[in-house]
Structure 1
């Protein structure tokens, strides 16, 4: 999925979204841009960015309140990060 398609899905969703996990680098719309758009209507939405690049490379783009999970990661590491962010 690309960032623009993800935004369409989010905007069409009628229910509550508790967490967004997004790659940083995506076609059409990158993760930080997607996050900025989503946060306009849901400013308290927790977001986990994943990337094969180091966090330092794009820290300015994702903001201080964003969470980061470096690739590659295991399902266990993802579950631990989700638990950390939602608790």
Structure 2
């Protein structure tokens, strides 16, 4: 799958199996998206991640909404990894 990242604050992390992260951090876009989708207000996310500028956080969410299949696959991969860790401590 070829993906062109046109969001200046998002990069695909080789260290995190190609997961989209906020550029220069290890903050996964999937986490920001999952909380936002569950109704967590932007103000709460700004407070939880004070190291992110509003532009970084909003660009990460924009990336997630522009690439829902990628984010859903990333969330599924995370759930599978967590399930695997729980079964095999």
TM-score bracket for the superposition, by shorter chain length: under 0.3
Larger Rg: 2
Higher helix share: 2
Higher strand share: 1
